[in-house]
């Protein structure tokens, strides 16, 4: 078994490839990983005021967006590179790809480099379930999953593992996507219902998750589709000009967000006035603000994803790597014998 690099061996950076990330997930077990990662994310939300926070740095184009998501708790620094290109699937490419890095603030040296395409899907699902544990109606057992793309199975299993749902009702305008999600979920202990309309998917559901990909102002949920007492987990609206909910729903719901300066630009609440009240999730988790206060309340998690969730995921992966064979040592940092003699190191390497 390999141990992670020690301070005396900082030239080598542990790297987790896609293949090794898949092995790590199977070694831990996906549902266990979702539960444990939800715990890490909640722990970091409880420390929210300690973190550096900034809206992600985005480069938008007609086709999609490329973003950097940085944060630090003063001890460790993390960033994620991530793209979002909804039309990629038409050419056989992923809508979202990502990688991330964790570093030691005291030296600036990286301590982990890892793929984050899979890890982002897992941390997004773990965050959704962690929030639902705070906001969903008590005893929720059924979730409507509107949008059955790459996130849908992770979202469904996270709600099962963390919250205890036993039924997921699937709907997508692409019937093949629904069939794919149903196949993938068939052996995971959930009752899976394929629905022909969004209305039938929502019927009887206490949790409604929306996760569609098109970059447009869309109405995935209209006002008359949403009854009292539900929790809406809106994770598809995640950039300017992309939303999923009718504005009337927002006016009826209690809205909870990660980081308002980012969500007001990228989330569902970009449709609302700048001063429309929202509650930050960390305040609910720490008891500084109220979450669900009545059975008939509509709660809405307007999720766009925030860097602290990636920080939690990177921290979790690094903690789980030590003593495994699930990483490579990358020689990516110059390490001259004399730190002032970088040129001499280059000269000694001459063939």
Give me the active site residues, please: 238
Q: Rounded distance, CA 159 to CA 297, Å?
A: 20
In the structure encoding, which two tokens stand for residue 278, read together?
């929202």
Burial (CB count <10 Å: 0-12, 13-18, 19+), residue 310: buried
Coil vs helix vs strand at 109 = coil
* Contact criterion met (CB below 8 Å) for 41 and 130: yes
DSSP H helices in the chain: 18-28, 30-46, 117-135, 152-158, 175-185, 198-202, 247-252, 260-266, 281-286, 307-321, 342-348
Pairing label, strands 142-146, 207-210: parallel
CB atoms under 10 Å from CB of 321, counted, come to: 20
CA dihedral 318, 55, 46, 211 (to 10 degrees): -80
Contact 177, 242 (CB under 8 A): no
The rounded distance, in Å, linking the Cα atoms of 184 and 266 is 30
């Amino acid at each position: 078994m390999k141990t992670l690099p020690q301070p005396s061996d900082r030239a080598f950076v542990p790297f987790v490839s896609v293949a090794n990330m898949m092995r790590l997930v199977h070694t831990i077990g996906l549902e266990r990983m979702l539960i444990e990662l939800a715990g890490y994310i909640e722990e970091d939300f409880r420390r929210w005021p300690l973190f550096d926070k900034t809206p992600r740095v985005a480069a938008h184009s007609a086709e999609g967006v490329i973003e950097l998501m940085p944060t630090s708790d003063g001890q460790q620094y993390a960033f994620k590179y991530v793209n979002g290109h909804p039309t990629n699937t038409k050419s056989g490419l992923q809508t979202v790809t990502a990688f991330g890095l964790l570093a030691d603030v005291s030296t600036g040296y990286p301590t982990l480099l890892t793929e984050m395409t899979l890890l982002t899907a897992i941390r997004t699902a773990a965050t959704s379930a962690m929030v639902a544990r705070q906001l969903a109606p008590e005893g929720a057992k059924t979730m409507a999953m509107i949008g059955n793309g790459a996130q849908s199975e992770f979202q469904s299993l996270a709600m099962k593992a963390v919250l205890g749902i036993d039924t997921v009702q699937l709907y997508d305008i692409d019937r093949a996507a629904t069939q794919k999600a149903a196949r993938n979920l068939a052996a995971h202990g959930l009752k899976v219902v394929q629905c022909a309309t969004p209305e039938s998917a929502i019927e009887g559901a206490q949790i409604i998750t929306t996760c569609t990909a098109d970059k447009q102002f869309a109405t995935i949920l209209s006002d008359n589709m949403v009854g009292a007492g539900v929790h809406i987990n809106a994770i598809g609206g995640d950039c300017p000009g992309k939303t999923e909910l009718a504005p009337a729903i927002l006016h009826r719901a209690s809205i909870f967000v990660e980081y308002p300066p980012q969500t007001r630009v990228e989330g569902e609440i970009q449709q609302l006035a700048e001063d429309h009240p929202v509650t930050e999730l960390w305040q609910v988790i720490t008891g500084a603000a109220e979450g669900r206060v009545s059975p008939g309340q509509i709660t809405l998690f307007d999720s766009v994803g925030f860097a602290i969730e990636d920080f939690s995921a990177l921290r979790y992966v690094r903690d789980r790597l030590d003593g495994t064979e699930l990483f490579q040592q990358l020689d990516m940092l110059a390490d001259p014998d004399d730190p002032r003699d970088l040129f001499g190191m280059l000269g000694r390497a001459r063939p």
